[in-house]
Amino acid sequence: MKIVNSLKSMKNRHKDCRIIRRKGRVYVINKTNPRFKARQG
């Protein structure tokens, strides 16, 4: 899990990335490549 300032740049790295909000934090998760995760906040 990477902690980044800009999630938009992380989302653009792979076509299957989704942005999800949980408990006031914003996550990028990827179903096809589960190792690829990022969070902001």
Each residue's pLDDT tens digit, 14-25: 778 888 888 888
More confident residue, 13 or 22: 22
Long-range (24+ apart) CB contacts under 8 A made by 30-39 are 37/1, 37/2, 38/1, 38/2, 38/3, 38/4, 38/7, 38/10, 39/1, 39/2, 39/3, 39/4
Domain spans, the chain: 2-40
Per-residue pLDDT, 4: 79
Per-residue pLDDT, 24: 87
Confidence of residue 34 (pLDDT cuts 50, 70, 90): confident
